Structure 1
Amino acid sequence: MRSVELFAGAGGLAMGVSLAGFESLAVVEWDKWACDTVRENQRRGYPLVSGWPLHEGDVRDMDWSSIPQNIELLAGGPPCQPFSMGGKHQAHDDKRDMFPATVQVVRKLRPKTFIVENVKGLTRSSFANYFEYIKLQLELPEIPRREHESWFDHLLRLQSEKTSGHMHGAGLTYNVVATLVNAADYGIPQKRERVFIVGTRSDLPIDWHFPDATHSEAALLYSQWVTGEYWDRHKIAARARPPVPEKMAKRIQALAAKPPATLPWRTVRDAIADLPDPRLRAAMHIRDHKFQDGAKVYPGHTGSPLDQPAKTIKAGSHGVPGGENMMVLPDGSVRYFSARETARIQTFPDGYVFHGSWTETMRQLGNAVPVALGRIVASSVGESLIRAELHRLQGTMCATRTAA
């Protein structure tokens, strides 16, 4: 199965797509530092990226003539600053809004499916019309915006086309599903809420739905406060364990009577348990695992508790306002995550290295899709494509037998 990755960054979603069995025909990213990270891993022979055809540059300037139409998957996370909770919230007025460029590539390549990832802020009520506009453009990519037409007038025209009942006569169309996902519910050690917009081409018999959650907070509470399995696994003696949270007492009691069927959320401790403290000599020879001094707590700026999934790893242009790039130790003190610890939280493999300073690496990681989450979503899409192809082949065989 063939894929193209747009706005690839340091490669999180693209690596997930590769792990799901897709072959990348083009990996496009404009940021030099992120491209240097991919190139460094290619130079080191890292298998997941060694064969990527990396293109450094603007998606809008890409020559797509060498990429065939009808590829199986187009994937990417358009720059999220126009919709980020920490950004300027300009949406369609922000020059960094790359959704129009994404729609243009869909129109050009006609992929069988696409995966678009973006921030939770996209779903805010203030962006409701523009979010609807994004989805309708992806549903009807062959009805482009006219010259001098405002985005809102284009939205009204798309809505009219859809409600007219003529949608499937409009040429290339997609069935589009938008889902708000908490990465922690899929085994990522991070409470990262993101929107996934997945499209399947309407002329193909693709039956797809978002994968069911596999992990839960309830199961984590059960393993911590009912069975104690969590503390036993981390070799935390009874006297060193924190007390049962009072506000959780009734919930924990209910869980004892009815154990959850899911797996526990993965925590910061789960993610980094086998890494030495970056302040120790043992950490010196681990790539991207250097201690960064200066972490402080102040109102509104707190770190991630060790025994919960991390807060959302962010890439702030003026620092990270909520302290998402630091952790709270058992004694209440805080320190910054090392780049390697952050990579663990974003589920990048340990063999994957990053180009640039701690600040630059943390920016790349904050912009990334967790590799494991990318694999889960891409695998579900890949499985639906395989089922559709088997359905087509079975139909062909039945038609051949009937004709015979």
Structure 2
Amino acid sequence: MQNLEVVEICAGAGGQALGLEKAGFKHRLAVELDANASATLRRNLPHAEVATGDVADSDVWNPMEHLGVPLLAGGVPCPPFSIAGKQLGANDERDLFAWAVELCEVIRPQALMLENVRGLSMPRFAGYRQHVLDRLGQMGYVAEWRLLHASEFGVPQLRPRFVLVALQDQYAPYFAWPKPLSTTPTVGEVLRDLMASRGWKGADDWARRANGIGPTIVGGSKKHGGADLGPTRAKRAWAELGVDAMGVADEPPAPGDVFKVGPKLTCEMVARIQGWQDTDEWIFEGRKTSRYRQIGNAFPPPVAEAIGTSIRRALRKTGKRHERDVNADQDPIYRVLRDSGEFMTHRQLEKAVGRALESYELERAISALSRDFTVEIRNGSSATAYRLGSFKGFVGQDDHLRHELFLKHRAKIS
């Protein structure tokens, strides 16, 4: 079967790229900000054009050159939605999710696939998610969010990813989310041969101890120090598996090595835990810390392959056909304010929503919406009223504050 082409933005070190290639897609273009990650992409995708720089910069690439590409994909920056961060969403200069969605209006891909962290699935972003679904619906796409766990696709770590898939109307009925695998290998099973590769005598005992899946690998950003395996809780979980998470090793343990906690992982081992296989022959460019960050921030290839296979079947119309109408989320207050376009009081909102709204619930909802949208508040003599205004996020505006902030912080963005 002839491969389908894909344009991938914020491509990183190619975890999603590798998975999509295995699923039957061929990269026409990959765009990435980090120079080392771009070098990795060029090394491993020699058939693809690789553009380095700000994906939203028209001097880096021209979306109009890729009209009608079968798939537009990407792993846009996670910090705007991360539970570990401030969850600034549309107010974060790194947020490119809504902008990436708007590319569908320009490129008109047959399908869109974007992935991000679990934080985007939280109630805080209900209005943001609905805005995304609304826009895709207006463009003629049927879209759906799904929280997927990498451990359900053969990846030995707790790595939840929130994925958006949208397809043009004619293809949407043929799409079905991939089904989880029945088993997941343990960290010990995946890494035992690498731990023993230099003759370490403790490899078998270590593998028996590492009899579970690991916590989420954290690549981190340029704002922080060197490579390690995550925050304190993650380090404790790694220690229970016999892994010293306080750094990344240059090579596997030697024959006589003895450890208080256990050996550190090498970049090659971290890549295994992310789902790369030896047969992939994927080479990461740059020094150790850069390689580790590239690997740790990647989308696991087996998950990308599973989703990509489902998308390919839909675009080929070989999947089982079923009706899909999923452009709806769970934020009734946003929906009512969006549809009304007028000021609405607490009582009017309750009537429109069809149930009682506690004051704290309404205040929390308005507070969350105010972070991603302009919300006008009018304090009347008898009641406070609210009206939903414009979306604050960057969707391509030339005068958006994002440009100034991006240039100011570019050296620390990864």
Whether these two folds match at TM > 0.5 is yes
**TM-score, reference length from structure 1:** 0.64
Q: Do the aligned partners of 2:5 and 2:69 also contact (CA within 8 Å) in 1?
A: yes
Matched, 1:335 2:263: yes
User: Residue 246 of structure 1 corresponds to which residue in structure 2?
Assistant: none
Matches within 5 A, 1:311-350: 311-317=215-221, 318=224, 320-322=230-232, 324=234, 326=238, 328-329=241-242, 333-350=261-278
Q: Do the aligned partners of 1:184 and 1:190 also contact (CA within 8 Å) in 2?
A: yes
**TM-score, reference length from structure 2:** 0.63
* Runs of 5+ consecutive residues of structure 1 not aligned to the other structure: 141-171, 216-263, 283-304, 392-404
Shift of 1:390: 12
Tell me the C-alpha RMSD between the 2 structures: 2.6
User: Residue 359 of structure 1 corresponds to which residue in structure 2?
Assistant: 289
Please give the alpha-carbon distance, in whole angstroms, between the structure 2 residues aligned to 1:189 and 1:11: 19
Describe the superposition over 1:241-275 as per-residue Cα deviations: whole angstroms up to 9, x where unpaired.
xxxxxxxxxxxxxxxxxxxxxxx221111211221
| SS of the residue 1:60 aligns to | coil
Matched, 1:60 2:63: no
Q: Do the aligned partners of 2:63 and 2:106 also contact (CA within 8 Å) in 1?
A: no
User: Residue 193 of structure 2 corresponds to which residue in structure 1?
Assistant: 274
| SS of the residue 1:97 aligns to | coil
| SS of the residue 1:137 aligns to | helix
Q: Do the aligned partners of 2:174 and 2:319 also contact (CA within 8 Å) in 1?
A: no
Shift of 1:200: 0.8
Describe the superposition over 1:295-314 as per-residue Cα deviations: whole angstroms up to 9, x where unpaired.
xxxxxxxxxx7111111111
Range with bigger deviation, 265-274 or 380-389: 380-389
User: Residue 180 of structure 2 corresponds to which residue in structure 1?
Assistant: 213
Please give the alpha-carbon distance, in whole angstroms, between the structure 1 residues aligned to 2:120 and 2:50: 28
- Equivalent of residue 310 in structure 1, options 202, 211, 214: 214
Matches within 5 A, 1:131-150: 131-140=129-138
Describe the superposition over 1:33-63 as per-residue Cα deviations: whole angstroms up to 9, x where unpaired.
2112223xx2xxx4xx121211111221244
Please give the alpha-carbon distance, in whole angstroms, between the structure 1 residues aligned to 2:260 and 2:233: 14
Matches within 5 A, 1:85-234: 85-140=83-138, 172-204=139-171, 206-215=173-182
Q: Do the aligned partners of 1:182 and 1:193 also contact (CA within 8 Å) in 2?
A: yes
Q: Do the aligned partners of 1:204 and 1:388 also contact (CA within 8 Å) in 2?
A: no
User: Residue 353 of structure 2 corresponds to which residue in structure 1?
Assistant: none
Please give the alpha-carbon distance, in whole angstroms, between the structure 1 residues aligned to 2:120 and 2:69: 27
Q: Do the aligned partners of 1:10 and 1:35 also contact (CA within 8 Å) in 2?
A: yes
Shift of 1:107: 1.3
Letter in 2 for 1:23: K
- In structure 2, relative to structure 1, the CA distance for the partners of 1:127 and 1:108 (3 Å cut) is same
Describe the superposition over 1:134-190 as per-residue Cα deviations: whole angstroms up to 9, x where unpaired.
3323333xxxxxxxxxxxxxxxxxxxxxxxxxxxxxxx3111111101111111111
User: Residue 255 of structure 2 corresponds to which residue in structure 1?
Assistant: none
Letter in 2 for 1:321: P
User: Residue 223 of structure 1 corresponds to which residue in structure 2?
Assistant: none
Q: Percent identity?
A: 30
Shift of 1:348: 1.9
Range with bigger deviation, 65-74 or 373-382: 65-74
Letter in 1 for 2:262: V
Please give the alpha-carbon distance, in whole angstroms, between the structure 2 residues aligned to 1:181 and 1:66: 32
Shift of 1:324: 4.2
Please give the alpha-carbon distance, in whole angstroms, between the structure 2 residues aligned to 1:110 and 1:206: 18
| SS of the residue 1:58 aligns to | coil
Letter in 2 for 1:314: V
User: Residue 313 of structure 2 corresponds to which residue in structure 1?
Assistant: 383
Please give the alpha-carbon distance, in whole angstroms, between the structure 1 residues aligned to 2:129 and 2:304: 22
Please give the alpha-carbon distance, in whole angstroms, between the structure 1 residues aligned to 2:172 and 2:56: 31
Letter in 2 for 1:7: C
